[in-house]
């Protein structure tokens, strides 16, 4: 089973700052997906296949990485970006998720 | 696309429960489907997968206790939960899976509470 380690676990940013969340895989994976989840809601697909934004996702979000190291970056973070972000890999089931990064906006 | 889970509730340890996920707005039979759960205040935890051809895979934590199935004629996904434990307490989501390996649509979730 591939273990995904996300960092940081929590973070706080001011509007307009740049934010980077990292996801490290215990073995090399072909790509990484990302979800956004707000309290009381289901996870939403956010970034597909490492770097493709899901429909409706603002272009201040971007994704990058390869092998065992991936990241989600938010340029000019806004209040609406407050949420928990999860990385996820699928080489084949078992699917695994990172433990999540909670982003708070100051 | 809509996924609507049902069947959750409060159940005693050792008992059983069957969850349903009613799908609409797409060709259900063409998609692999997953159950994913989230314990209160915790992260996402994959439970089980069923392919479009009904092949199944389970997480080790539920293998032998949970059974995923589908009825394509009814556009419905199921999860039979047996021998429930307190650690199975969670919101259970069904999700449609794409060939790229991401859940592109998720249900609203259904709460399962295992407690005496």
Cross-strand pairs, A87:
A34
Identify which of A48, A86, A90 has the shortest CB distance to residue B44.
A86
What pLDDT does residue B100 have?
Answer: 84
Out of B46, B104, B107, closest to residue A95 by CB: B46
Bond preceding residue A58 cis, omega within 30 of 0: no
Determine which of A93, A97, A102 to mutate to test the interface with B (most B C-beta atoms within 10 Å): A93
**For residue range B19-72, what is the model confidence (pLDDT) as tens digits?**
999 999 999 999 999 999 999 999 999 999 999 999 999 999 999 999 999 999
How, if at all, do strands B110-114 and B90-97 pair? antiparallel
How would DSSP label each residue in A42-105? --EEEEETTTEEPTT--TTEEEEEETTEEEEEESS--GGG-EEEEEEE-SSSSPEE---EEEEE
Q: How close A71 gets to chain B, by Cα (Å)?
A: 17
Q: What are the distances in angstroms from CA A68 to CA A102, B50, B97? A: 21, 27, 23
Q: Mark A73-98 as b/e (b = at least 16 C-beta within 10 Å).
A: ebeebeeebbbbbbbbbbeebbbbbb
Instruction: Look at residue A44 in the predicted model and tell me its pLDDT.
Output: 97
* Chain A CB within 8 Å of residue B103 CB: yes
- Say if the Cβ atoms of B100 and A48 lie within 8 Å: yes
Q: Which residues pair with B81 in a beta bridge?
A: B17, B66
According to DSSP, the residues that pair with B50 across neighbouring strands are B33, B56
Cβ separation B46–A97 shorter than 8 A: yes
Q: Which of A32, A42, A51 is the best substitution to test chain B (most B C-beta atoms within 10 A)?
A: A42
Please state, in angstroms and rounded to a whole number, the distance separating the CA atoms of residues B85 and B16: 10
Q: Return the structure tokens found at B61.
A: 């934590």
From A102, which residue of chain B is nearest by alpha-carbon distance? Answer: B43
pLDDT tens per residue, range A51-106: 999 999 999 999 999 999 999 999 999 999 999 999 999 866 689 999 999 999 99
Give the separation between CA B70 and CA B107, rounded to whole angstroms: 16
pLDDT tens column, B64-90: 999 999 999 999 999 999 999 999 999
Among A45, A94, A100, the residue with its CB nearest the CB of B59 is A94
Please, which pLDDT band fits residue A1 given cuts at 50, 70 and 90?
confident
Average pLDDT over residues A40-45: 97
């Amino acid at each position: 089973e591939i273990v995904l380690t996300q960092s940081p676990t929590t973070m706080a940013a001011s509007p307009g700052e740049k934010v980077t969340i990292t996801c490290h895989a215990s073995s090399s994976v072909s790509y990484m997906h990302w979800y956004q989840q707000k309290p009381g809601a289901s996870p939403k697909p956010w970034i597909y296949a490492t770097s493709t934004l899901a429909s409706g996702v603002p272009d201040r979000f971007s994704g990058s990485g390869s092998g065992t190291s991936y990241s989600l970056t938010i340029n000019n973070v806004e209040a609406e970006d407050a949420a928990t972000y999860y990385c996820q890999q699928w080489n084949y089931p078992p699917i695994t998720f990172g433990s999540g990064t909670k982003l708070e906006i100051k | 696309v809509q996924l609507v889970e049902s069947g959750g509730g409060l159940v005693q340890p050792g008992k059983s429960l069957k969850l349903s996920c009613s799908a609409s707005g797409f060709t259900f039979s063409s998609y692999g489907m997953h159950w994913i759960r989230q314990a209160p205040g915790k992260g996402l935890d994959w439970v089980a997968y069923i392919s479009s051809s009904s092949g199944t895979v389970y997480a080790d934590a539920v293998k032998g206790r949970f059974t995923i199935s589908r009825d394509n004629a009814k556009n419905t996904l199921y999860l039979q939960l047996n021998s429930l434990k307190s650690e199975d307490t969670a919101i259970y989501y069904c999700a449609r899976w794409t060939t790229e390996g991401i859940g592109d649509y998720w249900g609203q979730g259904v709460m399962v509470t295992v407690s005496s």
